[in-house]
Amino acid sequence: MKADLGSAMGIRFHQKPQLENPILIASWPGIGNIGIIAVDTLRAVLEAEELGEIEPWDFFYPRRILIRKGILEYLEFPSSKFYFKRIEGNDIVFFIGEEQPSEGGRVYAQGRKAYQMANLVLDVAEEFECRRVYTSGAAVALTHHTVKPRVWAVPNSESLIPEIKGYDNTVLMSDIEGRGGQGNITGLNGLLLGVAKKRGFEGVCLMGEIPVYLQGLPLSYPRASSSVLEVLTRSLRINVNLDKLDELDRNVQQRIEDFYQQIPLEIRGQLDRLRQVSYAQPAEPGPITEEEEKRIIEDIEKFFKKRGGGG
């Protein structure tokens, strides 16, 4: 059943194709833009066609104005667009939100607007009879930027756990040391998964790991987007060329390395130990003890406070 969303908000379709057995993949910006880079890369590589969009004005403050010769020509809002791609009976609907609808300057959506946005996205999933919903975001982890990021997978149904256990380089929350299967996915990348459950869609959120010391930097982290895409494309049984994402990763890694060299030697020494963390057997304790882990996080926080931000 469609949620009561009021008359002021709606979805504008550019076309309504017949889709076969589709899934929905959705993402909004978040830490390191890991999810949105993954989803948008897949959309671009597959050359997905534009399907429609959510009308923006009730969700967003405008972001750009153009005045010519004293006349207001137009106001531009962040876009929230749907795309589709036919793939031999396993079609894909994409949703890409340029911003999370937030109130009062918050970065991540919450409250009524977020719930309305999540419901609108799922209205489209319902319209096209999508069988599953994927979202994607970031998992802040005690890892190093030279280590291949893992993917933390959170399903919204018990029945999906065996499937997820079969994915490469992927962990469930219960596999993360000290988490006990608990956690929180902030913003719409998480909320959509919950609302999907409420409305009877099965769903999975795939979160690429980002090192704890990079979470506050104004940098994307495409290395983790690659990890997410590897899992996603295998799960969907499609092959895509990710050369452009690899190139972006090389550029970003260089900037991260430049930043890393600015970190005081003492803290960097602690962080360097994260290079040795091996996830071959994720349930086993790594080479860093709980005490050391705590100290590393404290040192990083002190460093960012001293730098005057970064968080």
Binding footprint of other proteins on the chain (CB under 8 A): 8, 57-58, 61-72, 74-75, 103-104
Please, which residue, 55 or 126, has the CB nearer to other proteins? Answer: 55
User: What residues pair up with 141 in beta bridges, in sequence order?
Assistant: 211
CB of 102 to other proteins, least distance (A): 9
Beta-carbon contacts of 32 under 8 Å, excluding residues fewer than 6 positions away, are 138, 208, 210, 214, 215, 219, 220, 221, 224
The minimum distance between CB 39 and other proteins, in angstroms, equals 24
CB of 8 to other proteins, least distance (A): 7
Q: 64 or 237: whose CB is closer to other proteins?
A: 64
CB closer to other proteins out of 70 and 180:
70
In terms of CB distance, is 104 or 166 closer to other proteins? Answer: 104
Q: What's the rounded Cα separation, in Å, for the pair 279 and 146?
A: 13
Q: Which is nearer to other proteins, 66 or 283 (CB)?
A: 66
Q: Which is nearer to other proteins, 66 or 161 (CB)?
A: 66
Asked if 38 contacts 69 with a C-beta cutoff of 8 angstroms, the reply is: no
Burial class (CB in 10 A: 0-12, 13-18, 19+), 50: middle
CB 84 within 8 A of CB 48: yes
CB of 71 to other proteins, least distance (A): 6
DSSP one-letter code for 288: S
Nearest distance, CB of residue 27 and other proteins, angstroms: 23
Residue 1 vs 67, nearer CB to other proteins? 67
CA-to-CA dists, residue 59 to 45, 111, 115, 186, 193, angstroms:
29, 12, 11, 18, 20
The phi and psi torsions of 148 (rounded to 5 degrees) equal: -65, 125
Amino acid at 132: R
DSSP string, 150-205: PEEEEESSGGGHHHHHTSTTEE-GGGSTTTTT-----SHHHHHHHHHHHTT-EEEE
Q: Are residues 27 and 135 in contact, defined by beta-carbon separation less than 8 angstroms?
A: yes
CB of 60 to other proteins, least distance (A): 9
To other proteins, the closest distance from the beta carbon of 105 in angstroms equals 9
Closest to 46 measured CA to CA, from 95, 89, 92: 92
The full length of the chain comes to 311
Q: How far is the CB of 256 from other proteins (least distance, A)?
A: 23
Of 1 and 72, which CB lies nearer to other proteins in the complex structure?
72
